[in-house]
């Protein structure tokens, strides 16, 4: 007869449904000082604030908003500073203690490891939020704040905290050295100082929305709630936009971390490319929704302008990292691509600089297609954006591949990043040398090489037909991309003939 | 059916201009214990990391249980246990939790996982340590736990990189016993070590690597036959030690003479008859001969003979 499993065994069996990383991290967490101190401190703060809030009601003041404001302020410090900073060491210590190799030898993939680590931070946050819940409920009972505001504020704060953890997790993949980590910590600290100081307004705007939101609580603590006044549903749309970008960027930060942790000889880019493509589609979707669905007048040309700037910046960043990838693929990469379920999409989403170039071109085609559908009058401007991206990322890469074929992707990336400011400065330098007396910074023909100035002064450029130069530069960039695609295709012809692994 | 558990063919791994692994090829049969020896920087760890799928060769391949380490890393990881030359332990984690974590990470669930962890704790004899923090254990005990971690998923091939390094003599003997038991259990073991006397007691075969190349592979006796025709002889005289050394060097077939612990050790290239002639010459020359013996060549002799002691 088989004995029935005990209660503890049942619980243990249930834990098999969780990632092993989560189980390990939570076990370590409950023995760690950082969590115990944070949790204890949040309980003491919660109790103190609730006490003073309750005391305030004796004078007839509805102190609920004040109480909840301070509770959420305390959670903000924990969720946006304490927990993310602790997360910064999560993967670095695995690498410096050399336990990461041991985990990768198991069935856990780098993605599952990163998701496990992030989920463990999520568990920490949930525990802290749950600990604060009774005190926040006290604030609600004290009156002066509605339930929806509390829930939305907590949800927003949780999402932002998770986002900060994902960002710190990614930062912790960047280096195993304590010195470099120290530099990253310092940089992050400076960013925080900026956000708390002069950037505080931006932070508050970003965290709790701009128009359509109103503030509760102590000054500067930033507790706000959604207002359903103003444009009908405007606050909710804002919340939806922020939440969707928050979730999308969390996914991409996880994929970026995965990319950093995977061996360079493996296909570590396909998932990342899908992630950034979805982010691109999200940008497009929100612009289309803003133009056609969201209440309030958003002219098509303004929508396309916004799309051009945001999608253009994303495409430029993506191009710097994809087109600069090595053209020659490892055998494992080729085999993984061949045996992938998405093998038919590998010419676009697969590893290597050639696929990277196709990937960027496909998104550009999509961007231009949407531009044509929504605002045909902006097509030349959008085409110029795409052309500049092709030129400034393609030309240095092609030059590096032809002149110094042994350069690594990292070095090619640096070359591409340097090429851009050098060309921009060159225009001014040549202008100054040609005519030192008449030199000024007004937009003129020589600035056609400067994409920011040309795109910002597009009407002037069009008026004097300088836009044709810009489009010619773009055409050169496009041809360079085609050359890179051809080079990549030829470089991997031999590996491509290896049969696929079933 | 191919009985080789591990087959390496033309493995090459280059770091910049240095060829850490240079066209390495050999195979290990199922249930065999192979000692992988070579000086520091010879390419042992790089080869082992490639076999453990932590690194990728520039060319060549290795098959473990028929699976290529290049093409099928996931399958290879399922049947391979790797113990690097460091313990790799976590803070704030007990021995039981540590093994439980790796059992979970290998996909073991429920009763199977619990049984696997308990078996390992029993096998490694660490029952009393199960609730101790793993990072607070001594080096020897951490190594023991690390070996447990490497075999928790019951792999067919065990790759152990310097498993006995930093261990005290007692821990070393215990470790050796564990490896023997694993081999008796049918596991194929590939292990590297600097302590050659130990390897010769554990291993069925050895592979000697230097400057990334395999110089010899086989049983110690086979390699000796291949590389050495000379006999290793020793003698002790009551007096005139220096004279005896000079006398030996003048005799035909004597290759190398050195003194250690009051005895003269030398390599002699000749058969039994030539050895009889040598002894009679020594006696006739009036040396007060106390002892004359033949020494059995060991792994150290093989290693010294085969390698040049150069690193890359």
Instruction: State how many domains chain A has.
Output: 2
Per the domain annotation, does A2 fall within a domain?
A: no
d(CA B230, CA B238): 26
Please name the residues between 27 and 86 in chain A that touch chain B, using a CB distance below 8 Å.
27-28, 31-32
CB A182 within 8 A of CB A218: no
Predicted confidence band of residue B226 (pLDDT cuts 50, 70, 90): low
Per the domain annotation, does A247 fall within a domain?
A: no
Assess whether A405 and A502 both reside in one domain: yes
Per the domain annotation, does A237 fall within a domain?
A: no
Q: pLDDT (tens digit, 9 = 90+) per residue, B128-144?
A: 999 999 999 988 889 88
CB B159 within 8 A of CB B190: yes
Q: 């924990």: which residue's tokens?
A: A78
Predicted confidence band of residue A494 (pLDDT cuts 50, 70, 90): low
> If DSSP states are collapsed to H, E and C, what string results for chain B?
CCCEEEEEEEEEEEECCEEEEEEEEEEEECCCEEEEECCCCCCHHHHHHHHCCCCCCCEEEEEECCEECCCCHHHHHHHEEEECCCCCCCCCCEHHHHHHHHHHHCCCCHHHHHHHHHHHHHHHCCHHHCCCEHHHCCHHHHHHHHHHHHHCCCCCEEEEECCCCCCCHHHHHHHHHHHHHHHHCCCEEEEECCCHHHHHHHCCEEEEEECCEEEEEECHHHHHHHHCCCEEEEEEECCCHHHHHHHHHHCCCEEEEEEECCEEEEEECCCHHHHHHHHHHHHHCCCCEEEEEEECCCHHHHHHHHCCCCCC
Residue A366 predicted with pLDDT over 60: yes
Residue of B nearest to A499 (CA): B71
Per the domain annotation, does A303 fall within a domain?
A: yes
Predicted confidence band of residue B151 (pLDDT cuts 50, 70, 90): very high
Per the domain annotation, does A388 fall within a domain?
A: yes
Q: pLDDT (tens digit, 9 = 90+) per residue, A17-56?
A: 999 999 999 999 989 888 899 899 899 999 998 888 888 7
| Domain end (from A184, A208, A227) | A227
Predicted confidence band of residue A203 (pLDDT cuts 50, 70, 90): very low
Q: What region, left, alpha or beta, does residue A317 occupy, with left being phi > 0 and alpha being psi -120 to 50 degrees?
A: alpha
Residue A431, domain extent: 262-502
Residue A3 predicted with pLDDT over 70: no
pLDDT at B39: 84
- Which residues on chain B are in Cβ contact (under 8 Å) with A104? 54
The whole-chain average pLDDT of chain A stands at 83
A82-91, A346-355, B111-120, range with the lowest pLDDT: A82-91
Cα of A338 to nearest chain B Cα, Å? 11
Residue A426's alpha-carbon distances to A395, A433, A442, A489, in angstroms, are 16, 10, 16, 34
Assess whether A374 and A419 both reside in one domain: yes
Q: pLDDT (tens digit, 9 = 90+) per residue, A206-216?
A: 344 333 333 33
Residues from B contacting A (CB-CB < 8 Å) are: 52-56, 70-74, 77-78, 80, 82, 84, 86, 88-93, 97, 101-102, 104-107, 109-110, 113-114, 149, 153
Structure tokens at A107: 């069935």
Q: pLDDT (tens digit, 9 = 90+) per residue, B154-202?
A: 999 999 998 877 777 787 888 888 888 888 888 999 999 877 777 777 8
Assess whether A198 and A274 both reside in one domain: no
Assess whether A175 and A266 both reside in one domain: no
Assess whether A144 and A268 both reside in one domain: no
d(CA A479, CA A470): 15
Per the domain annotation, does A355 fall within a domain?
A: yes
d(CA A301, CA A122): 41
Name which of A23, A32, A263 is nearest B101 (Cβ-Cβ).
A23
Assess whether A304 and A365 both reside in one domain: yes
Assess whether A392 and A299 both reside in one domain: yes
Q: Do A102 and B106 touch (CB under 8 A)?
A: no
Per the domain annotation, does A9 fall within a domain?
A: no
Per the domain annotation, does A275 fall within a domain?
A: yes
Any idea how long chain B is? 312
Residue A373 exposed, middle or buried by CB count within 10 Å (0-12, 13-18, 19+): exposed
Residue A348 predicted with pLDDT over 60: yes
The b-or-e profile of A173-186 (16+ CB within 10 A means b, else e) is: bbbbeeeebeebbe
Pairing status of strand B157-161 against strand B188-192:
parallel
Torsion angle in degrees (nearest 10) through CA of B240, B241, B245, B248: 60
User: Any CB–CB contact under 8 A between A10 and chain B?
Assistant: no
Assess whether A395 and A458 both reside in one domain: yes
Residue of A nearest to B150 (CA): A102
Residue A111 predicted with pLDDT over 50: yes
CA nearest to A259, candidates A318, A299, A203, A310:
A318
Residue of A nearest to B72 (CA): A501
Q: Do A98 and B109 touch (CB under 8 A)?
A: no
Structure tokens at B225: 């036959």
| Domain end (from A205, A227, A249) | A227
CA nearest to A104, candidates A325, A250, A266, A339:
A266
Q: pLDDT (tens digit, 9 = 90+) per residue, A245-297?
A: 999 999 999 999 999 988 877 888 999 999 999 999 999 998 888 887 766 66
Assess whether A83 and A212 both reside in one domain: yes
Q: pLDDT (tens digit, 9 = 90+) per residue, A167-195?
A: 889 888 887 666 676 677 677 767 766 66
Predicted confidence band of residue A205 (pLDDT cuts 50, 70, 90): very low
Assess whether A450 and A329 both reside in one domain: yes
CA nearest to A347, candidates A335, A336, A359:
A359
Assess whether A215 and A343 both reside in one domain: no
Residue of B nearest to A28 (CA): B92
| Domain end (from A179, A202, A227) | A227
Name which of A31, A97, A107 is nearest B107 (Cβ-Cβ).
A107
Tell me what ipTM this predicted complex has: 0.78
Assess whether A404 and A323 both reside in one domain: yes
The runs of H, that is alpha helices, within A1-109 are: 7-14, 20-31, 33-56, 64-77, 83-87, 90-96, 100-104
CB A241 within 8 A of CB A235: no
* Domains identified in chain B and CATH numbers: 4-87+151-225 (3.40.50.300), 229-296 (3.30.70.100)
Mean pLDDT, rounded, for A82-89:
84
């Amino acid at each position: 007869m088989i004995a029935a499993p005990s209660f503890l065994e049942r619980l243990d069996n249930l834990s098999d449904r969780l990632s092993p990383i989560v189980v390990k991290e939570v076990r370590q967490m409950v023995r760690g000082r950082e969590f115990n101190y944070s949790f204890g401190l949040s309980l003491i703060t919660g109790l103190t604030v609730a006490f003073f809030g309750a005391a305030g009601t004796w004078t007839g003041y509805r102190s609920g908003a004040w109480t909840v404001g301070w509770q959420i302020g305390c959670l903000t410090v924990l969720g946006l500073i304490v927990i993310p900073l602790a997360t910064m060491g999560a993967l670095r210590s695995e690498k410096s203690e050399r336990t990461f190799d041991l985990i990768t030898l198991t069935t856990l993939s780098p993605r599952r490891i990163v998701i496990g680590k992030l989920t463990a931070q999520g568990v920490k946050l949930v525990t802290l939020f749950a600990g604060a819940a009774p005190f926040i409920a006290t604030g609600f009972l004290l009156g002066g704040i509605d339930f929806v505001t509390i829930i939305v504020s907590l949800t927003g704060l949780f999402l932002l905290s998770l986002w900060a953890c994902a960002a710190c997790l990614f930062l912790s993949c960047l280096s195993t050295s304590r010195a470099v980590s120290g530099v990253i910590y310092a940089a992050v600290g400076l960013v925080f100082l900026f956000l708390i100081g002069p950037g505080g307004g931006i932070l508050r705007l970003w965290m709790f929305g701009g128009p359509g939101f109103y503030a509760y609580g102590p000054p500067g603590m930033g507790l706000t709630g959604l207002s359903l006044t103003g444009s009908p549903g405007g606050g909710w749309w804002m919340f939806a936009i922020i939440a969707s970008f928050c979730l999308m960027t969390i996914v991409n930060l996880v994929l970026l971390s995965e990319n950093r942790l995977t061996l360079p000889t493996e296909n570590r880019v396909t998932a990342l490319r899908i992630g950034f493509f979805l982010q691109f589609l999200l940008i497009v979707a929100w612009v289309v929704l803003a133009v056609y669905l969201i209440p309030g007048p958003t002219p098509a040309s303004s929508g396309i302008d916004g799309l051009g700037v945001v999608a253009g910046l994303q495409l430029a960043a993506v191009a710097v990292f994809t087109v600069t990838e090595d053209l020659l693929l490892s055998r494992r990469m080729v085999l993984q691509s061949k045996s992938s379920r998405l093998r038919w999409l590998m010419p676009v989403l697969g590893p290597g600089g050639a696929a990277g170039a196709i990937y960027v071109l496909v998104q550009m085609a999509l961007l231009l297609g949407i531009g044509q559908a929504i605002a045909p009058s902006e097509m030349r401007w959008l085409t110029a954006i795409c052309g500049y991206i092709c030129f400034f990322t393609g030309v240095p890469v092609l030059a590096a591949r032809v002149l110094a074929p042994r350069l690594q992707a990292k070095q090619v990336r640096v070359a591409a990043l340097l090429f851009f400011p050098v060309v921009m400065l060159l225009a001014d330098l040549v202008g100054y040398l040609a005519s030192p007396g008449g030199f000024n910074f007004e937009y003129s023909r020589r600035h056609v090489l400067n994409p920011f100035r040309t795109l910002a002064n597009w009407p002037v450029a069009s008026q004097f037909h300088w836009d044709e130069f810009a489009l010619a530069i773009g055409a050169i960039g496009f041809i360079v991309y085609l050359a890179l695609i051809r080079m990549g295709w030829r470089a991997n012809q031999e590996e491509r003939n290896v049969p696929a692994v079933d | 059916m191919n009985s080789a558990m591990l087959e390496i063919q033309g493995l090459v791994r280059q770091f910049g201009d240095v060829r850490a692994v240079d066209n390495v090829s050999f195979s290990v049969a199922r249930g065999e214990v192979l000692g992988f020896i070579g000086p520091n920087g010879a390419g042992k760890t790089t080869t082992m990391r490639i076999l453990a799928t932590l690194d990728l060769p520039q060319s060549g391949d290795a098959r473990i249980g028929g699976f290529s380490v290049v093409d099928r890393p996931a399958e290879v990881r399922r049947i391979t246990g790797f113990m690097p030359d460091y313990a790799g332990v976590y803070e704030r984690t007990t021995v039981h939790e540590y093994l439980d974590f790796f059992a979970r990470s290998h996909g073991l669930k429920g009763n199977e996982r619990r049984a696997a962890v308990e078996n390992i704790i029993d096998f490694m004899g660490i029952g009393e340590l199960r609730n101790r923090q793993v990072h607070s254990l001594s080096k020897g005990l951490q190594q023991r736990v690390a070996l447990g971690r490497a075999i928790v998923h019951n792999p067919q091939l065990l790759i152990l990189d310097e498993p006995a390094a930093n261990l005290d003599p007692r821990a070393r003997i215990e470790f050796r016993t564990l490896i023997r038991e694993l081999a008796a259990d049918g596991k194929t073991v590939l292990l590297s070590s600097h302590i050659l006397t130990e390897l010769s007691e554990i291993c069925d075969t050895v592979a000697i690597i230097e400057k990334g190349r395999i110089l010899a592979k086989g049983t110690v006796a086979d390699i000796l036959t291949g590389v050495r025709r000379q006999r290793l002889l020793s003698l002790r005289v009551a007096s005139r030690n220096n004279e005896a050394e000079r006398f030996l060097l003048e005799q035909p077939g004597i290759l190398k003479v050195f003194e250690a612990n009051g005895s003269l050790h030398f390599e002699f290239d000749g058969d039994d008859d030539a050895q009889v002639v040598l002894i009679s010459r020594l006696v006739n020359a009036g040396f007060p001969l106390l002892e004359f013996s033949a020494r059995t060549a060991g792994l150290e002799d093989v290693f010294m003979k085969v390698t040049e002691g150069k690193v890359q």
